[in-house]
Amino acid sequence: MEDYVGMAKMNRPSSAIAGGIAGTAILSLLMILLEVQTRSQVHIFDAIARFVGLPNNILIGFVLFVAAGVFAWPLLFIALEPYIPRGPDPAARGIVFAFVLWLAFVIAGRGSIGWPLIIVYAGLTLLAHLAYGFTLGAVYASLREENVADTA
Protein backbone atom coordinates (compact mmCIF):
# COMPACT_ATOMS: atom_id res chain seq x y z
CA MET A 1 0.00 0.00 0.00
CA GLU A 2 2.75 2.37 0.92
CA ASP A 3 3.71 2.68 -2.73
CA TYR A 4 0.48 4.41 -3.46
CA VAL A 5 0.25 6.75 -0.52
CA GLY A 6 -0.38 10.18 -1.90
CA MET A 7 -1.74 8.83 -5.17
CA ALA A 8 -5.35 9.89 -5.67
CA LYS A 9 -7.77 6.99 -5.70
CA MET A 10 -10.19 6.93 -8.60
CA ASN A 11 -13.70 5.67 -8.96
CA ARG A 12 -14.26 2.29 -10.53
CA PRO A 13 -14.97 3.29 -14.16
CA SER A 14 -12.00 5.68 -14.35
CA SER A 15 -9.61 3.16 -12.86
CA ALA A 16 -10.92 0.50 -15.24
CA ILE A 17 -10.32 2.83 -18.19
CA ALA A 18 -6.81 3.56 -16.90
CA GLY A 19 -6.33 -0.20 -16.78
CA GLY A 20 -7.70 -0.40 -20.31
CA ILE A 21 -5.19 2.18 -21.54
CA ALA A 22 -2.28 0.27 -19.98
CA GLY A 23 -3.61 -3.06 -21.19
CA THR A 24 -4.24 -1.86 -24.73
CA ALA A 25 -0.76 -0.34 -24.88
CA ILE A 26 0.79 -3.67 -23.95
CA LEU A 27 -1.54 -5.62 -26.23
CA SER A 28 -0.78 -3.37 -29.21
CA LEU A 29 2.94 -3.51 -28.55
CA LEU A 30 2.88 -7.31 -28.38
CA MET A 31 0.76 -7.51 -31.55
CA ILE A 32 3.17 -5.25 -33.44
CA LEU A 33 6.10 -7.29 -32.16
CA LEU A 34 4.33 -10.44 -33.27
CA GLU A 35 3.70 -8.98 -36.70
CA VAL A 36 7.28 -7.85 -37.20
CA GLN A 37 8.94 -10.84 -35.56
CA THR A 38 6.98 -13.24 -37.77
CA ARG A 39 8.02 -11.22 -40.82
CA SER A 40 4.46 -10.14 -41.67
CA GLN A 41 3.19 -13.68 -42.12
CA VAL A 42 0.34 -13.33 -39.67
CA HIS A 43 -1.09 -10.04 -40.99
CA ILE A 44 -2.21 -9.12 -37.53
CA PHE A 45 -3.64 -5.76 -38.56
CA ASP A 46 -5.85 -7.51 -41.08
CA ALA A 47 -6.90 -9.90 -38.32
CA ILE A 48 -7.78 -6.93 -36.12
CA ALA A 49 -9.76 -5.35 -38.94
CA ARG A 50 -11.61 -8.62 -39.55
CA PHE A 51 -12.26 -8.92 -35.81
CA VAL A 52 -14.01 -5.58 -35.63
CA GLY A 53 -15.93 -6.39 -38.83
CA LEU A 54 -14.13 -4.10 -41.27
CA PRO A 55 -11.98 -6.54 -43.24
CA ASN A 56 -10.73 -3.97 -45.74
CA ASN A 57 -10.12 -0.95 -43.58
CA ILE A 58 -7.07 -1.40 -41.38
CA LEU A 59 -6.87 2.14 -40.03
CA ILE A 60 -10.48 2.39 -38.88
CA GLY A 61 -10.28 -1.20 -37.71
CA PHE A 62 -7.31 -0.29 -35.55
CA VAL A 63 -9.05 2.77 -34.13
CA LEU A 64 -12.08 0.66 -33.20
CA PHE A 65 -9.75 -1.93 -31.69
CA VAL A 66 -8.15 0.71 -29.45
CA ALA A 67 -11.54 2.14 -28.52
CA ALA A 68 -12.79 -1.30 -27.51
CA GLY A 69 -9.63 -2.05 -25.55
CA VAL A 70 -9.71 1.24 -23.68
CA PHE A 71 -13.44 1.74 -23.07
CA ALA A 72 -15.72 -1.14 -23.98
CA TRP A 73 -13.87 -4.12 -22.49
CA PRO A 74 -12.81 -2.43 -19.23
CA LEU A 75 -16.35 -1.20 -18.53
CA LEU A 76 -17.76 -4.61 -19.40
CA PHE A 77 -15.12 -6.07 -17.11
CA ILE A 78 -16.17 -4.09 -14.05
CA ALA A 79 -19.83 -4.84 -14.76
CA LEU A 80 -19.11 -8.57 -14.89
CA GLU A 81 -16.37 -8.61 -12.25
CA PRO A 82 -18.31 -10.25 -9.39
CA TYR A 83 -19.29 -13.13 -11.66
CA ILE A 84 -15.84 -13.89 -13.10
CA PRO A 85 -14.06 -16.86 -11.50
CA ARG A 86 -10.59 -16.77 -9.85
CA GLY A 87 -11.35 -13.67 -7.77
CA PRO A 88 -11.09 -11.67 -5.66
CA ASP A 89 -7.89 -10.48 -7.35
CA PRO A 90 -8.99 -8.42 -10.39
CA ALA A 91 -5.78 -9.29 -12.26
CA ALA A 92 -6.54 -13.02 -12.06
CA ARG A 93 -10.12 -12.30 -13.12
CA GLY A 94 -8.80 -10.12 -15.95
CA ILE A 95 -6.94 -13.13 -17.30
CA VAL A 96 -10.15 -15.18 -17.45
CA PHE A 97 -11.97 -12.25 -19.02
CA ALA A 98 -9.28 -11.76 -21.65
CA PHE A 99 -9.26 -15.46 -22.44
CA VAL A 100 -12.89 -15.18 -23.55
CA LEU A 101 -12.03 -12.12 -25.64
CA TRP A 102 -9.19 -14.08 -27.21
CA LEU A 103 -11.56 -16.92 -28.16
CA ALA A 104 -13.65 -14.43 -30.09
CA PHE A 105 -10.56 -12.83 -31.60
CA VAL A 106 -8.91 -16.04 -32.72
CA ILE A 107 -12.11 -17.27 -34.38
CA ALA A 108 -13.26 -13.99 -35.95
CA GLY A 109 -9.80 -12.85 -37.01
CA ARG A 110 -8.39 -16.11 -38.28
CA GLY A 111 -9.00 -15.41 -41.95
CA SER A 112 -7.05 -17.76 -44.20
CA ILE A 113 -4.23 -18.57 -41.78
CA GLY A 114 -3.54 -22.30 -42.05
CA TRP A 115 -1.45 -25.03 -40.46
CA PRO A 116 1.21 -24.73 -39.03
CA LEU A 117 1.17 -20.93 -38.77
CA ILE A 118 -2.13 -21.11 -36.89
CA ILE A 119 -0.19 -22.43 -33.85
CA VAL A 120 1.99 -19.33 -33.73
CA TYR A 121 -0.99 -17.08 -34.43
CA ALA A 122 -3.13 -18.68 -31.73
CA GLY A 123 -0.35 -19.04 -29.18
CA LEU A 124 1.11 -15.57 -29.42
CA THR A 125 -2.22 -13.75 -29.66
CA LEU A 126 -3.33 -15.74 -26.59
CA LEU A 127 -0.28 -14.55 -24.64
CA ALA A 128 -0.88 -10.97 -25.80
CA HIS A 129 -4.52 -11.15 -24.67
CA LEU A 130 -3.64 -12.67 -21.29
CA ALA A 131 -1.12 -9.85 -20.80
CA TYR A 132 -3.93 -7.39 -21.64
CA GLY A 133 -6.30 -8.93 -19.11
CA PHE A 134 -3.68 -9.14 -16.39
CA THR A 135 -2.57 -5.54 -16.89
CA LEU A 136 -6.15 -4.30 -17.04
CA GLY A 137 -6.98 -6.02 -13.76
CA ALA A 138 -3.72 -5.14 -12.00
CA VAL A 139 -3.84 -1.43 -12.84
CA TYR A 140 -7.55 -1.32 -12.02
CA ALA A 141 -6.91 -2.99 -8.66
CA SER A 142 -4.15 -0.60 -7.72
CA LEU A 143 -6.07 2.56 -8.61
CA ARG A 144 -9.64 2.05 -7.47
CA GLU A 145 -10.89 3.18 -4.07
CA GLU A 146 -11.57 -0.09 -2.27
CA ASN A 147 -8.73 -2.55 -2.55
CA VAL A 148 -9.69 -6.20 -2.71
CA ALA A 149 -6.24 -7.50 -3.54
CA ASP A 150 -4.86 -6.33 -0.23
CA THR A 151 -7.15 -8.63 1.65
CA ALA A 152 -6.65 -11.50 -0.76
Partner 1 sequence: MRNGWPPTLAVPDGGYLLGGETETENEKPSGLFRWVTSVDHKDIGIMYIVFATATALWGGTDAMMIRTELLTPGAGPWDPVTYNALFTTHGLTMLLFFVTPAFTGIGNYFLPLLLGADDMAYPRINAIAFWILPPAYLLVRAGLITEIIAKALAVIGFSITSLFALQPPGTGWTMYTPLTTQMVNPQIDLMLLGLHLSGIATLLAAINFIVTIFTERSDDVSWSTLDIFSWTMLTTSGLILFAFPLLGSALIMLLLDRNFGTTFFTVDGGGPLLWQHLFWFFGHPEVYILVLPAFGLVSLILPKFSGRKLFGFKFIVYSTLAIGVLSFGVWAHHMFTTGIDPRIRASFMAVSVAIAIPSAVKTFNWMTTMWEGHIRLTAPMLFCIGGIGTFIIGGVTGVFLAAIPIDLLYHDTYYVVGHFHFIVVGIITFAAFAASYYWYPLLTGRMYDQLLAKVHAWLSIVGTVIAFGLMLINGALGLPRRYATYPEQFASLQQMMTIGAFLIFAGVIIWLYNMIQSYRIGPVVMDADVWNLKSIDQFTREWQWFEERLEERRRKIRGE
CA atoms within 13 A on the CB side of 145: 5
- Residue 26 beta carbon to partner 1: minimum distance, rounded to whole angstroms: 12
- Residue 104 beta carbon to partner 1: minimum distance, rounded to whole angstroms: 21
The rounded distance, in Å, linking the Cα atoms of 19 and 49 is 23
List binders of partner 1 among 39-98 (CB under 8 A).
Answer: 39, 41, 45, 58-59, 62, 89, 91-92
Q: Which of 56, 85, 112, 150 binds partner 1 (CB under 8 A)?
A: 150
- Residue 141 beta carbon to partner 1: minimum distance, rounded to whole angstroms: 7
Cβ neighbors of 41 (< 8 A, separation 6 or more) are 117
The rounded distance, in Å, linking the Cα atoms of 22 and 40 is 25
The rounded distance, in Å, linking the Cα atoms of 135 and 142 is 11
List binders of partner 1 among 100-139 (CB under 8 A).
Answer: 116-117, 119-120, 123-124, 127, 134, 138
| Torsion of the alpha carbons at 50, 52, 96 and 78, rounded to the nearest 10 | 170
Residues making contact with partner 1 (CB under 8 A):
1-5, 32-33, 35-39, 41, 45, 58-59, 62, 89, 91-92, 116-117, 119-120, 123-124, 127, 134, 138, 141-142, 147, 149-150, 152
